[in-house]
Amino acid sequence: MDLFTVMRRQEVAILLKKEFSKWQQEQEWVSIEEALGRVLAADLVSEENIPPFRRSTVDGYALRAADTTGCSDSLPAFLQMLGETRMGEGTDLVVQAEQAVYVPTGGIVPVGADAVCMIEYTENFQDEISIQRPMSQLENLIEVGDDVSIGECVLQKGSRIETQHIGAIAALGRNRVLVKKRIKIAILSTGDELVGPGHPLKLGQIRDSNTDALRAMVISLGCEVVMADRILDQFDALQSGLQKAVDESDLVLISGGSSVGTLDMTPDIINSLGEPGILVHGVAIKPGKPTMVAKVQNKAVFGLPGHPASCLIAYKAIVEPFIQETLLAESIREFPLTAVADFQIHVSSGRDVFYMVQIQENEGQWIAKPVHGKSGMVSLLSKADGYIEIPMEKEGVQRGEKISVHRF
């Protein structure tokens, strides 16, 4: 393969899926307190009926719907008051013809009753209750297993556990779940000129923002950063740092050193660590064309551009889908925001273009405005709310066109 033949990102995704088709992420049990953000390693199947008994959805009187046929405010139905049920307790009461039992919201509905009349439509006359509206069968009650039945899959394997899922897991009676172990990520930023936050700058030096940006992005996927180093542009330092990163992680991100300049030793260093080495050097995206994709000792290695915006876009276009779809085998549910373009742009780069935008709401409609700047400008990232994708087959975006905005 010609390493400098630029590939489309769709082709890169297919190649990665093939190269890592045998990837098997280890699994572990975690407590419900630790489950948020983790990816299920097996279907979450209910071992219980929810609810486990017939429950009332209102405060009112459990009765037989047939006993209320034709009743009204002026002609109520009078039923014998049989008793009441209490929260958290069972009952041996049985509702028969022209009888009623008081039931609180969430309380058990006695045998024989097939509806619950809200207390607002009743009046208490000591031993009798007047019902002022006709009821239909099963009104205001939930049958056993109406919510979830035994054997029902509540969350599928590959689902990311979100905040709304925690309550469902607890409702199933589970205090722990089987999840995929966190993907271990190593991040290496290369360059003699890089200085981390909190240190003074000398003339000719620049702040390294990519390390912390990449760290935040992979952590947001539920990954674990096991290594984050800044390395000088020296062959031995880069080689030993990369070897350590490969040994300690499942996936390595290298920021910088992906271009074909004379000082960029990264391709040679990657290839020196084992076959097959670099699989792709150059992806048809803008920004982010110099991106490298490699496989070393059965670990995925990505060389990302050093420019902040290019680094982020290359990560979003290539790395993040790979982590989600192949390593985590995650059931992805992405919901891009639909907006109206408040700009016009013509592109003819022969690449898929990723364009930074801001979004504003105007009269109930989202408006996307352009964020201008070069790929090395940090201001692009600070001003942008998200980005749009313009496939190479498309000539551009027209003002007023509906577009999909991917939020960061």
Using one digit for the tens of pLDDT, what is the confidence trace for 356-366? 999 999 999 99
Mean pLDDT estimate for the chain: 92
Query: What local confidence, expressed as pLDDT, does residue 322 receive?
Result: 97
Segments of the chain scoring below 50 in pLDDT: 1-3, 262-263
Question: What's the chain's length in residues?
Answer: 408
Looking at domain 337-407, does it have CATH number 3.40.50.300?
A: no
Query: What local confidence, expressed as pLDDT, does residue 377 receive?
Result: 62
CATH 2.170.190.11 maps onto the chain at 55-142
Per-residue pLDDT tens digits for 168-195: 999 999 999 999 999 999 999 998 888 8
Query: What local confidence, expressed as pLDDT, does residue 260 receive?
Result: 53
8 A C-beta contact, residue 101 and residue 120: no
CATH 3.90.105.10 maps onto the chain at 29-50+151-180
CATH classification number, 9-26+182-327, choose in 3.30.750.200, 3.40.980.10, 3.40.630.30, 3.40.50.1100: 3.40.980.10
Query: What local confidence, expressed as pLDDT, does residue 259 receive?
Result: 57
Structure tokens at 289: 């064309």
Query: In this structure, which long-range contacts are made by residues 68-72, counting pairs with CB atoms below 8 Å and at least 24 apart in sequence?
Result: 68/115, 68/117, 68/131, 68/133, 68/134, 68/135, 69/134, 70/134, 71/131, 71/132, 71/133, 71/134, 72/132, 72/133, 72/134
- Type of residue found at 96: Q
8 A C-beta contact, residue 257 and residue 264: yes
- The whole model's pTM is what? 0.83
Query: What local confidence, expressed as pLDDT, does residue 389 receive?
Result: 96
8 A C-beta contact, residue 83 and residue 104: no
Q: What is the CATH number of domain 29-50+151-180?
A: 3.90.105.10
For residue 407, the surrounding DSSP H or E stretch is strand 402-407
Structure tokens at 337: 């925001």
**Beta strands 206-207 and 60-63: pairing type?**
unpaired
What CA–CA distance (Å, rounded) separates 370 from 396?
13
Query: What local confidence, expressed as pLDDT, does residue 232 receive?
Result: 86
8 A C-beta contact, residue 42 and residue 157: yes
C-alpha separations of 289 from 16, 119, 281 in Å = 17, 68, 9
CATH 2.40.340.10 maps onto the chain at 337-407
55-142 folds as Molybdopterin biosynthesis moeA protein; domain 3 (2.170.190)
Query: What local confidence, expressed as pLDDT, does residue 265 receive?
Result: 84
